[in-house]
Structure 1
Amino acid sequence: MSAAIGYKLLAIMLIVGFGYLVGRLRWLGSAEAEPARVLSNAAFFMFAPALFFRTTARLDLAQLPWPMIAAFFVPVVALMGLNYAAQRWRRAERGLPAAAPAVRAITVAFGNSLQIGIPIAAGVFGETGLGLHLALVSVHALVLLLVATTLVELDLARDQARGAQRIGSLGAVLRATLRNTIIHPVVLPVLAGMAWQATGVPLPGPVDEVLQLLGTAVVPLCLTLIGMSLAYLGFPRSLRGALGLTLLKLVVQPALVWAVAWWVFGLRGLPLQVVVMLAALPSGTNALMFAQRYRAQEAETTAVNVISTLAFVATAPVWLWLLTVFSSVDGPALAS
């Protein structure tokens, strides 16, 4: 990897370290006051909705590279679903909360497409590759968080119905799921943004400026939250689960995306390289925000964020080397 990408990874870890220092020294209060959760709620209910609405309202659906989008999201969502199903099957025997399967699923699926993904795309693939990467990133959070939100709200509604001894009331479960999925700080801004985009009216300048300023707070806040959560919660007693999720994220997911993109969608050259590296990115900070929102697997998700980011230093060169080797048959070589 280039020095610029290395510096970006170092900057991310330093911000996480700063968050750890803030939590360790209790600058924002004791663990009982839950300052990390307060900041997480601010990100989830204030800053992230502004980002999602602005992104969706400005999205030009006609210009998106749909074959690339399908080649990435079909295998990623499929792996997400398989992971979710496996976790649901094992949840009862492990005594995990209802939201745990969806949290683990989004932790594996969601990559750090901004802080790490953009420098990788720009530094390795050049301007053309960066453009393709940004096209995928424009719908990355929207698709994966929508899927995860639907799954977790379905589980919570089912769990609530079971607690109220209404196990057979499928209609009640579906109604609760639909209501909680739509009236949600992720989904509602997306739907509102789509409705605005459909009107063809550009966002007024002052409104766009406000949304942009609010949205820029998401990245540094979430990185700081990783460190604070590590200070308050620590690593889980057993790292087996975190290491397993990290393996799925850094090895299994990019391999699956490569196979599906090549054999099913016929991607070659630069488009193939971009989707594989997007799939190979470490776990993104939105996964921790999601875990804290539903109070499930917070320590484990924090561990996956830290471990996968550190391990990416070793796995990224391997994927880039494999892509370079196959570039002679894929199409154009990687940008220098």
Structure 2
Amino acid sequence: MFSVILLKLLAIMGVVVIGYVVGRKGWLGHNDPARVLGYAAFYIFVPALLFRTTSRIEFASMPWGTLAAFFVPVVALMLSVYAWQRSQGGLPVAAPSVRAITATFGNTVQLGIPMAVAMFGEAGLSIHVTIVSLHALTLLTVLTALVEMDLARERARLGDADAHVGRMLMDTARKTIIHPVVLPILAGLAWNALGAPTPEVVDEMLVQLGQAVVPMCLVLIGLSLAQYGLKAAARGAITLSLLKLVLLPAVVLVVGHWGFGLSGLALSVVVMAAALPVGNNALIFAQRYEVQEAESTAAIALSTFAFALTAPAWLWVVSQLR
């Protein structure tokens, strides 16, 4: 069981190391290749993956109670981190949203899917896949709306102290909808509602673009590590990693078991999904708004290494509640 996860961790870190070496050697040039790669992922490859995923969701068969047991505490913690960071003051406008996504967005695909298969079999995988199908849709949409509202408020403050609230809200809505994350999600949901099959050629294009997301993001993490290192952002990265690996699964465990009455397989799957290390989308989100990039990169790397220790601990905890 754990050998599968360990092999997956080693493979992930191996690709990250390749990106790191390439970045240190400057083989992609010296004009910020990490940012170029990040923009390519954000504007081309991730939208393709999101559209195809949301267009294929089967809402009628969703285990809504189990999903609520996962997403209610996750979104609650995400909003709490956002509010806490906003109250600190002195941070860049987009920093609260970036830190909130880093503290809650897990690596549900590269690590989560093989973990679910190895630990819980097909029954557990089916629950995990439903979480994956709504993961980016829920977290990225909420955080995008919040960060765009903050940016609109800042633009209004700098440009016109008496800017109309309605104008600010319209600006927020426009930038939230016409966004490389939210727009493909909305388009995918609309296509899903139509019930029409995706043309075979288009679907194959989306598959090929979507398959590039994982290796591209892992190389991107390596490039970013080469550029920023770990020391400069170590303190923030450790805090965010603890929130993701310790606090989030604890909150999901409490809410899922005592709030929603989950036990057995369903509880184990949602807790382990919450216990996953920081996902690559945190870095892509940080690069989109050009803030906290070093911190997000370090948090992804640190939490991925630490997951080898925290995963067995959480498995033991949930096994005591069966």
Same fold per superposition (TM over 0.5): yes
- What is residue 57 of structure 2 aligned with on the other side? 59
- Segments ≥4 residues shifted beyond 3 Å: none
Task: Find the counterpart in structure 2 of residue 299 from structure 1.
Answer: 294
Deviations 1:12-34 (A, max 9, x none): 0001000000100011111xx11
Mapped contact 2:94–2:289 kept (Cα < 8 A) = yes
**Match of 1:282, SS?**
coil
Identity of aligned residues (%): 58
Partner of 2:239: 244
* 2:8–2:111 CA contact under 8 A, matched in 1: yes
How many angstroms apart in 1 are the aligned matches of 2:83 and 2:231?
22
Q: Give, as a single letter, the amino acid of the residue that structure 1 aligns with 2:21.
A: L
* 1:269 to partner: Cα distance: 1.0
Residue equivalent to 2:321? 326
Q: Assess if the C-alpha contact under 8 Å between 1:145 and 1:186 holds in 2.
A: yes
Distance between the aligned counterparts of 1:136 and 1:262, measured in 2?
17
Give the C-alpha shift of residue 238 in structure 1. 4.8
- 1:1-336 map, 5 Å: 2-30=2-30, 33-92=31-90, 96-166=91-161, 169-327=164-322
Retained in 1: the 8 A contact 2:98–2:285?
A: yes
What TM-score do the two structures reach when normalised by structure 1? 0.94
Per-residue CA deviations over 1:166-222 (Å, capped at 9, x if unaligned) read 355321221111000000001100111111111111111111111011001011100
Q: C-alpha separation between the residues in 1 aligned to 2:61 and 2:218?
A: 31
Distance verdict in 2 for CA 1:26–1:167, change over 3 Å? farther
SS at match of 1:320: helix
Q: 1:167 & 1:186 partners in 2: Cα distance? A: 31
The residue identity in structure 1 corresponding to 2:122 is E
Does structure 1 retain, via aligned residues, the 8 Å contact 2:277–2:303? yes
Give the whole-Å Cα distance in 2 for the aligned partners of 1:268 and 1:97.
42
Q: Do the aligned partners of 2:41 and 2:213 also contact (CA within 8 Å) in 1?
A: yes
Count residues with an aligned counterpart.
Answer: 322
In structure 1, the gaps of 5 or more residues are 328-336
1:330 match: none
The answer to whether the Cα contact below 8 Å between 1:158 and 1:167 also exists between their aligned partners in 2 is no
C-alpha separation between the residues in 2 aligned to 1:126 and 1:299? 36
Code of the aligned partner of 2:19: G
Deviation digits for residues 71-122 of structure 1, max 9, x if unmatched?
1110000000000001011132xxx211000000000110000111111100
Alpha-carbon contact 1:102-1:151 (below 8 Å) kept:
yes
Q: For 2:205 and 2:145, locate their aligned partners in 1 and report how far apart those are by CA, in whole Å.
A: 29
CA distance in structure 1 between the partners assigned to 2:138 and 2:32 by the alignment: 30
Question: In structure 2, how many angstroms separate the alpha carbons of the residues matched to 1:235 and 1:163?
Answer: 34
Q: Is the 8 A contact 1:236 1:300 kept in 2?
A: no
1:126-180 deviations in whole A, cap 9, x for unaligned?
Answer: 1110111011111111111101111110111111111113355321221111000
* Amino acid of the structure 2 residue aligned with 1:50: A
- The root-mean-square deviation of aligned C-alpha atoms, in Å, is 1.0
CA contact (8 A) 2:20 2:226 kept: yes
SS state at 1:326 partner: coil
Tell me if the contact between 1:236 and 1:299 (Cα under 8 Å) persists in the aligned partners: no
TM-score when normalising by structure 2: 0.98
Task: Output the CA distance in 2 between the equivalents of 1:321 and 1:91.
Answer: 39
Partner deviation per Cα, 1:22-48 (whole Å, 9 max, x = no partner)? 100011111xx1111111100000011
CA contact (8 A) 2:233 2:295 kept: no
State the AA in 1 paired with 2:174.
R
The AA in structure 1 aligned to 2:9 is L
Task: State the distance in 1 between where 2:232 and 2:190 align.
Answer: 46
